[in-house]
Amino acid sequence: VINNERLRDIYSDLTMLNAFARADDTLATAARSIAEIITVHGHVNLDFADVNTTLKDGGVAIMSSGLGKGDDRVNDAIKNALHSPLLNNNDVFSAKKILINLSFGEESPLMMEEM
């Protein structure tokens, strides 16, 4: 759920319909991301049990995403995810459980030193 007041803060320069469309896109991305964590097999696979263990009895769930490019892409992606306005200033550092999914393309493989 995205608070309507938060939409006004984040998307004050958009029309109401466009702001709601952005919120819908964000929620759809969140649902798709969770589904892909379970169904898309990567190099380190997570399954429904992993997601369930992380989310079960976890209280409020917060989801964010970040994109990184270039030499410091992993750190950039993490910083962008942690500074997303949709996190609504929630302190993710006090979380008891966290689920992280890193993805990358074959044209730009992830190096072990980046981890």
What pLDDT is stored for residue 80 in this prediction? Answer: 87
What band does 54 get if pLDDT is binned at 50, 70 and 90?
confident
Distance of CA 2 to the CA centre of its chain: 14
What pLDDT is stored for residue 1 in this prediction? Answer: 60
What pLDDT is stored for residue 21 in this prediction? Answer: 92
Across the chain, mean pLDDT equals 81
> Does residue 18 register a pLDDT over 90?
yes
Would you call 44 exposed, middle or buried from its count of C-beta atoms within 10 A (0-12, 13-18, 19+)? exposed
Q: Where are the domains positioned within the chain?
A: 4-114
pTM of the model: 0.63
Distance separating alpha carbons of residues 100 and 19, to the nearest angstrom: 27
For residue range 102-114, list pLDDT tens digits in order.
777 777 777 777 7
Q: In the chain, which ranges are continuous DSSP H helix?
A: 4-10, 16-39, 48-55, 73-82
